[in-house]
Structure 1
């Protein structure tokens, strides 16, 4: 966990090193099992076919069951209510960094983990003590304590085993707690609906009682529906399970965030919130049986009516604190065009702008803003494990850029194709030149005639079918794109009539091809072929669209034993960045940074350092690798010997010196005048090697050496580029 410090005694005298080893061992084993399971479909492709058939059969059986079985309809109703509650939390937690998939996992843990453990706890207690489940001590004491405590289990497991637990936002804590509570409440309420199948329940609702009226309220216009309140002269109530768990989880997040300034005494806050939740729950369950002093305390805390209000105030405070924190690192985060601040209103504005004007970009914009927040909290609070996954996060953000460009290119590509066909029709059949454009005009006319309900049914149908094959947000993007094509029929028709309106599309075509290749079955094979013929394709596109590119500037070379280095020209342009933000080591902000010990002795140098992005750049030359020894007639060293020495041994020594022996940094004769301090670079966990050689043997040897580094330093990330001059 992010607050564990190695070597200090923990609970029960167990030092945190032992806890850390247990945690890492369990997580590594779980990850190995997960990777093994993920690799099964690759080894047995026919399993995907069986899975697809199973999904379709399940869907058909479910639809048939809705018509034939009342319990199936009951299940669907309760699921939709629980989904509605989850969406309310999802929309309110504006500073969240969790994806919908991660949130759904918390919900599933509330079903498959919390409920069995709670049931086992109650069964064990009654087995040891005796009594019935209807006894006051069971319903009003044991049950509230067990349920409110065990509902925090999903969040506890995430904090213990996740690599990015230290970089959670406060809204993430609330969302995780709410999702676990939603899952627990889903099964609890579904069981009640199934069991309460009597005449009274069928006539007036499953939660209607003879004397208390409606006790459980599921109202569409209610924030967090599902509250427990008697309708006739109510005196107390208890909010739904998600609100209680979200409030306690948010209090825990505030304690974790504020413990450095307020000491560990701040953990009293989540403890008090947990006690309050248990008190609300217990007072409602045992309102006619508990002692008066307990009911008096419950009355002082609002008899359950103030719980939701307090949680909403805490959530507002959490959002303010989250966005204030993001404001501190805004210069290190990507911004939208014209965006000055990172705040929920501007993010919502860009999302609605995408939804109303460029619906095909909506899902990508929403995912990009969420991952920008994730990057910000990782920079602010992330420990070594959270820093190690920053590069993967940047890669996902770049993917969303490409997805947005690719989805936008669907309309441009359709217009381009339509323009080509229109030109062909004009040449072959001049009298029918407008027929193709008329089809798109008619398509939008048909779309405009549809009612709001009909359009919604089409979009939801496309979403439901897409959800069978892709995730939630990709399915939403597909559905919105499907709606945007007929909704933009007039624009496409205009492009057909006047193809000059189209912009130069080669970049859009490239992005569209990249997305298409990643989705089709043989996309990876096509991607390998495209890489081999990529230069020819690029030259062909440049000639086709009459565009010229500037020649690549000469790159400076790291000094070596063969001769002096070539200095870069002061007026030379910076090398262009490619799709994954490649930066040549000579363009790093800090270059030639040397470590020294307490006796001022040299401990090695870093060729380039990017402190903001957390990257060490190391340039290696393999020019003398294939030189033949005059006496033996063999190469002076094999590729494996070269990489073991240059990559493994030197980097291993460099990391150990950085963490143990170094006391400061200084610049080398060829280095930059300004260099970072030792404290600024100690937290960097990403090494990027840039090697001027490239061969299959060299690549295999380098991978072997890097794997040895990854085993010895699991918290570090090691990547390499070949053919860098």
Structure 2
């Protein structure tokens, strides 16, 4: 068992190291993203052009749309899911590029060893169903073996993983049939039509899980599509994992029986009138394939009930919205649908909040030590979505009435209602323009699945406008009377008009940018001195005679005569802007109340680096009472590097309102906006030992996982 665990962790760490290397290359060489974008757009253009000139491309598009429709049905029914759409897409690709080639290779190798052809009855009706149904479960097995959050999956997640790999497999299988089946009959009736059986593969828009195999002329048996079989078996695996602590290991016989049932349905349909009668008697006893889908739906309904029953056990530790006495799928579905129909700007927030809340709940319920390490990340993401949803709901009702109110986040503390919009814009401003563009395009792409182009563009612009106007919204909440002034009322009206016309947000953004450039140009013109001769003022007499000056008498200049010039230089430089090539010591960040949130030991504004000094000497000294070290190197690293840095970054991006100087620090400090975009940390430790290096590296690796946009490095034996 230890060998398996060692292999699992080593292989996963290797993959994560490779991921960090590739991500580092991408960050270091931005042209990689540019090349990737160009290739993606060229590929899309080539595919769009092929739809007009290549028949096979149109065939592929038709089958892809059917498969997409099937996975959407599963996505809608699995209400307790915690996996994102991106994760589900990866499992679909695994079914295409992993399961299909592996099945083909396995069948070819089997026939190479034992003889026969793939067209033989025993191969089509026995070997092929066995290998197909088993290999379709491979993506689920890989995920359960390597993923850190595998123990915290919901039963719907198991169902979606199985359905996704089945959709990918069926996509390639049906696409191959459509490409290969040709002729007069196929051209007239369709690729799945036979003379004796009629239509055999049914893709009906108003059917649940289309793609079933059933003859349309005198049907006697059927088999459901690959996604249904694999989803049912995967759900059985999830139920077994959920019940293994209460029951014995024999509970895994349940998914094994479901696998045998799927193989039986598959084999009976492939081997009609060619297999022994006892097998068809067994198939008749199990419902001839017609009972598979109803049984799966009953299993899924029971799984949803069990999932939400479990979530309500920890609902006191999860954030609840108003009028939500207990967690249930119906309230969630109603809020999502109503936001899609009435207020599409909140649709993405509803989806994200409910998914993050379920993920946190299942992590608290079933997560092991590895899954528990993700709690803080999930909690922070969910807290942000919770604040945005609550804020949008309240501001739409009466922003002025509720000005200054506090909301209760999940940790029980209070948070300023207006400040959450400041935090939202601070987070938005801290993102790179590529990340902001990706978020907006993602909102546009998701919206296009449900509405037309112009409404979808409006949703994307709403996301952009709310995230980028947090400070302005917060200002109106703090002081609603600002709306009563003529200039602000006119500005608000203009903003509303711009938001109602196509590309209005873009015009407003261009106007703001253009105004900034005009101001800079005007400032440069004002700073230029006129190139003309200005007559000098006559010198004032100093009482020693007319026209007599100290320099005329050979007297030395007084020391205070240079002071006005120095003061003038200082006044020119003291404009509130930090010098770009300067370093600053002991810079403190505070919230809107002036409460300190942390301190940065040194900030190099030119090289964009935070320096943190840690005293690591004396960790090997023993406590005379206990005979043990006061703290181990790992305890030191987890507390001083992992814990404090995690808190410092979260405070900087979410709660900080300004910076200020400390007693022993630099007299002038950079502004908060100048340091929020810094992404490099360097820790300087005065100690050095192999144990300390290992402990620090462990803490840095955890920081890199939690904050992938940041870079963390360390030097030993130096400062402080």
User: Is the contact between residue 159 and residue 231 of structure 2 (CA under 8 Å) also seen in structure 1?
Assistant: yes
Q: Please tell me whether residue 390 in structure 1 is matched to residue 366 in structure 2.
A: no
2:78 corresponds to which of 90, 93, 103: 93
| 5+ long unaligned stretches in structure 2 | 398-436, 464-482, 496-504, 514-576, 602-612, 623-627, 649-661, 666-679, 708-720
Partner residue, 1:432:
none
1:236 corresponds to which of 211, 214, 221: 221
Partner residue, 2:715:
none
User: Is the contact between residue 155 and residue 307 of structure 2 (CA under 8 Å) also seen in structure 1?
Assistant: yes
C-alpha change, 1:645 and 1:363, in structure 2 (3 Å) is: farther
Q: Please tell me whether residue 288 in structure 1 is matched to residue 268 in structure 2.
A: no
2:188 corresponds to which of 203, 214, 220: 203
Structure 1 residue 473: Cα displacement = 4.6
1:158 corresponds to which of 127, 140, 143: 143
State the Cα RMSD in Å: 4.7
Structure 1 residue 396: Cα displacement = 2.1
Partner residue, 1:65:
50
User: Is the contact between residue 156 and residue 304 of structure 2 (CA under 8 Å) also seen in structure 1?
Assistant: yes
User: Is the contact between residue 55 and residue 468 of structure 1 (CA under 8 Å) also seen in structure 2?
Assistant: no
2:685 corresponds to which of 701, 708, 711: 701
Structure 1 residue 537: Cα displacement = 13
User: Is the contact between residue 643 and residue 701 of structure 1 (CA under 8 Å) also seen in structure 2?
Assistant: no
Partner residue, 1:299:
284
Structure 2 length normalisation: TM-score?
0.63
1:499 corresponds to which of 468, 474, 489: 489
Distance 1:694 1:141 in 2: 80
Structure 1 length normalisation: TM-score?
0.62
Distance 1:409 1:64 in 2: 48
After the TM superposition, which residues 334-345 of structure 1 pair with which residues of structure 2 at under 5 Å, given as runs? Answer: 334-345=319-330
Distance 2:693 2:352 in 1: 32
2:201 corresponds to which of 192, 216, 223: 216
Q: Please tell me whether residue 24 in structure 1 is matched to residue 9 in structure 2.
A: yes
Distance 1:377 1:275 in 2: 30
C-alpha change, 1:379 and 1:706, in structure 2 (3 Å) is: farther
Structure 1 residue 313: Cα displacement = 0.3
Structure 1 residue 641: Cα displacement = 2.6
User: Is the contact between residue 249 and residue 270 of structure 1 (CA under 8 Å) also seen in structure 2?
Assistant: yes
After the TM superposition, which residues 39-54 of structure 1 pair with which residues of structure 2 at under 5 Å, given as runs? Answer: 39-54=24-39
User: Is the contact between residue 192 and residue 200 of structure 2 (CA under 8 Å) also seen in structure 1?
Assistant: yes
Q: Please tell me whether residue 652 in structure 1 is matched to residue 637 in structure 2.
A: no
Distance 2:207 2:250 in 1: 36
User: Is the contact between residue 236 and residue 284 of structure 1 (CA under 8 Å) also seen in structure 2?
Assistant: yes
Distance 1:123 1:110 in 2: 19
After the TM superposition, which residues 573-584 of structure 1 pair with which residues of structure 2 at under 5 Å, given as runs? Answer: none
Distance 2:339 2:137 in 1: 37
User: Is the contact between residue 640 and residue 698 of structure 1 (CA under 8 Å) also seen in structure 2?
Assistant: no
Distance 2:664 2:15 in 1: 36
Deviates more, 1:332-341 or 1:66-75: 332-341
C-alpha change, 1:317 and 1:715, in structure 2 (3 Å) is: farther
User: Is the contact between residue 280 and residue 304 of structure 1 (CA under 8 Å) also seen in structure 2?
Assistant: yes
Q: Please tell me whether residue 179 in structure 1 is matched to residue 179 in structure 2.
A: no
Structure 1 residue 259: Cα displacement = 0.8
Number of paired residues? 513
2:342 corresponds to which of 348, 357, 370: 357
Larger-gyration structure (1/2):
2
Distance 1:697 1:151 in 2: 44
Partner residue, 1:277:
262
Distance 1:410 1:297 in 2: 63
Structure 1 residue 467: Cα displacement = 9.0
User: Is the contact between residue 115 and residue 184 of structure 1 (CA under 8 Å) also seen in structure 2?
Assistant: yes
1:639 corresponds to which of 615, 628, 632: 615
Q: Please tell me whether residue 347 in structure 1 is matched to residue 321 in structure 2.
A: no
Secondary structure at the counterpart of residue 700 of structure 1: strand
Structure 1 residue 716: Cα displacement = 7.6
User: Is the contact between residue 155 and residue 304 of structure 2 (CA under 8 Å) also seen in structure 1?
Assistant: yes
Structure 1 residue 261: Cα displacement = 1.0
Distance 2:56 2:323 in 1: 53
User: Is the contact between residue 385 and residue 715 of structure 1 (CA under 8 Å) also seen in structure 2?
Assistant: no
Partner residue, 1:597:
none
Structure 1 residue 265: Cα displacement = 1.3
